[in-house]
Amino acid sequence: MQRRIFSLAAAAVISVLLASGAYAADRQKIVWLQWANDAQQKAIDAVVTAFQAKYPIDIEFEFKPGSAEGENLVKTRLAANDMPDLLTYNSGSLFQVLNLEKNFVDLSKEPLAAKLLDSFKTTVAAGKGFYGIPMQPIPAGGIIYNKKVYASLGLKVPRTWKEFTSNCEKIKAAGIVPVIASYKDDWTAQLLLLADFYNVNATTPRFAADYTANKAKFATTPAALRGFEKIQEVFTKGYINKEPMSTTYDMAMAMLASGEGVHYPMATWILASINSNFPDKINDIGFFALPGDSSDKNGVTLWMPNNISIPKTSKSIVAAKKFLEFFVSAEGMAAYMSVGAPDGTFAVKGVKLPDAVFPAVRDVLAYVDANKTAPALEFLSPVKGPNLPQICVESGLALKTALECAKEYDRDVEKQAKQLMLPGW
Amino acid sequence: MAGSTLRLYSYAFFLPAGIIYILFFIAPTFLSFFFSLTIWTLSDWRFTGLDNFRIFFTEPSLSIGLRNSLIYAISTCALKVVLGFLLAAFLCTKLKTRGFLRSLIYFPNILSTIAVGIIFSSLMHPSHGLINTTLAFFGIQGPDWLGNPKMALFSVVLVDVWKGVGVAMIIFIAGIQAIPQHYYEALSIDGGSSFDKLRYITLPLSRSSMNSVIMLAFIGGIRSFDLIWVMTKGGPGFTSDLIASIIYKQLQGGFYGLSTAGNVVLFIIVSIMAVPLYRSLTKVEVDL
């Protein structure tokens, strides 16, 4: 009798073990190297959950730091053939330096290829293929502003730099900070210059190509130099807040939401963060394109969304491709938008945005619908100097003249071009 | 026969440590001399001659690091020597709280540099920081310690001295305590004051510990990185960049050749300064 109980128990244990073994074997695991604290993580988690419910594939995240630190990590892991199955990365010049044809799986033969906008695909393309799908809505760069303050002071959205400065004078006279400068996080200092690229492109359409070929420079192209001058002007005219070197991105966001500061040169990726930190203020926030010198040429500079790609060393390429297909499918996009309105349009064709998008996103869409957009320089040229943030801070605190800063940046760019071994440098 | 076995036997002991030392120290050091003459990525390289060095010395955003590192090393070194010596002399007197004060001054040194940097950047915040709010209480408008381009480097120097003066003091205390008491007795019989004791006995006879402090502080200062990186990241602009932070930025930018060249420059500077500094300092040492 005892023996029988024992064998029954043993059989039960074994069958449980077998079942769980079979269960584990049924479900495949893929690993995704993603940024820590990504503003879009909530939406991404929703897509992952929907994907895991539909397919027997589990996705596990590995997190990497942002900016240069994370870039180093990826470069090192690529060189050591130690990449996971999915990778999130910036599109454009930063992605291009990773030697795409050698290191990533070409997606141009996949069904998803037909769904993506060409303007996005070119930023992740090399040779005949392209190597990533958009991970987030398309961010737009310009001035994020507080509509409530605009309404209370009776101001109108400026279409030229002159109108912008006269608005700033009125805001300053009212005792409010006209322009928020958060130079402690020095990457934010460059947004004013980078978002000004629509204006550069409008007056000097050949700039991006000439710049890549070492024929045009920031210091000698008046329209490009304006970017450095504008950063300096908001300082010399006293528009920016006190203590810019101690103000962080997060503090700037709080200033903007509360109306303590009115204009913040930034891109729309900030909207998701404002929405989660100050949900009652998101409807006070609007957007307008960075004003140029003439009102008929005024448009918005678009960033291209960060991308998800599949490293060639992945052992689960089929499963990873399944995920990318799912991500850009109607189902995937619906899951993405299930956690809240997206902060821009998608680079995926035929995705309908919900009616309840943020007011700032509606402002951006007006420019997109009027076809007044240009991609940021880093998506048209692989050349981007790594010291631009600090150089913009130098200009923004008037440590050097705008022209000196432009010259300094031109030299910084030269190093990058030589490192990339571009022709003409 | 027995001799050669013994020799082989002793080399066998050297082998494990030797291999690691050669592989991870000697080989990279010499390889870096070569790679400083190239543009390289982790999988590929191209020879460019002395181009990297030319860029490193001519570009203002890079060459400022040389100047700042010298300023940083000299000022931290000088302050640590002077303050360390005075504190040590003071804490070698028959003071009741001397043990407590010694540990109090040494204490910052056991903190992590990163933690010290983070704490001080918040203490030095221009309007909410404890330092400036305290100054404001006395009606003084405190400066923007880390945001003012003219001050940022010196603010970090002060923090470095605060953190490092304890070590200098301990070395001086060891030196001062080694001075035989009868010198002091002789001087007091001759009618010398306490200041004379300090000036004519303690100072010259702690020369050897002073040399150690100068060497340690200077070399530590010239290759300093962590504190400046946490507190200012070389900013505003490039005004507080040191050689090491510039090298790190070039590495982050993906300019491996340029950052290797920077490291070679740093290596040479440290060697050039350390050798004659050590020679000239040891010459004037006095035997006890």
- Residues 61 to 90 of B: which have CB under 8 A from any A CB? 61
B108 to chain A, any CB pair closer than 8 A? The answer is no
A72 to chain B, any CB pair closer than 8 A? The answer is yes
Q: A140-303+360-419, which class in CATH?
A: alpha beta
Whether residues A399 and B149 touch (CB distance < 8 A) is answered with yes
SS3 at position A142: strand
B39 to chain A, any CB pair closer than 8 A? The answer is yes
Average pLDDT of chain B is: 88
CATH topology of domain A2-138+305-358: D-Maltodextrin-Binding Protein; domain 2 (3.40.190)
The single-letter code of the amino acid at A56 is P
> Could you tell me the pTM of the whole model?
0.81
Which residue in the block uniquely carries the two structure tokens 């590192």?
B69
Whether residues B252 and A386 touch (CB distance < 8 A) is answered with yes
CA B243 to the chain's CA centroid: 13
Taking CA–CA distances from B58, the nearest residue in chain A reads A411
Q: Tell me the H-state helices in B91-151.
A: 98-106, 113-123, 130-137
Are B210 and B229 in contact, with CB atoms under 8 Å apart? no
* A69 contact residues in B (CB cutoff 8 A): 252
* A383 contact residues in B (CB cutoff 8 A): none
pLDDT digits (tens, 9 = 90+) for A56-88: 999 999 999 887 778 888 988 998 899 999 999
Q: Which of A39-43, A55-59, A225-229, B115-119 shows the lowest mean pLDDT across its residues?
A: A39-43
Strand partners, A149: none
Domain ranges, ordered by start, for chain A: 2-138+305-358, 140-303+360-419
B116/chain A closest Cα distance in angstroms? 17
B266: closest CA among B253, B248, B278, B252?
B248
B234 to chain A, any CB pair closer than 8 A? The answer is yes
Whether residues B144 and A245 touch (CB distance < 8 A) is answered with yes
B142 to chain A, any CB pair closer than 8 A? The answer is no
Taking CA–CA distances from A394, the nearest residue in chain B reads B237
The single-letter code of the amino acid at A332 is G
Are B288 and B180 in contact, with CB atoms under 8 Å apart? yes
B262 to chain A, any CB pair closer than 8 A? The answer is no
A390 to chain B, any CB pair closer than 8 A? The answer is yes
B252 to chain A, any CB pair closer than 8 A? The answer is yes
Domain B62-283 belongs in CATH node 1.10.3720.10: yes
A281: closest CA among A370, A176, A172, A358?
A358
Banded model confidence at residue A384, pLDDT cuts 50, 70, 90: confident
Are A98 and A75 in contact, with CB atoms under 8 Å apart? yes
Q: Which of A123-132, A158-167, B269-278 shows the lowest mean pLDDT across its residues?
A: B269-278
pLDDT digits (tens, 9 = 90+) for B180-239: 999 999 999 998 888 898 889 999 998 888 988 988 898 889 889 999 999 998 879 899
* A411 contact residues in B (CB cutoff 8 A): 59
Distance CA(B183)–CA(B197), nearest Å, equals 9
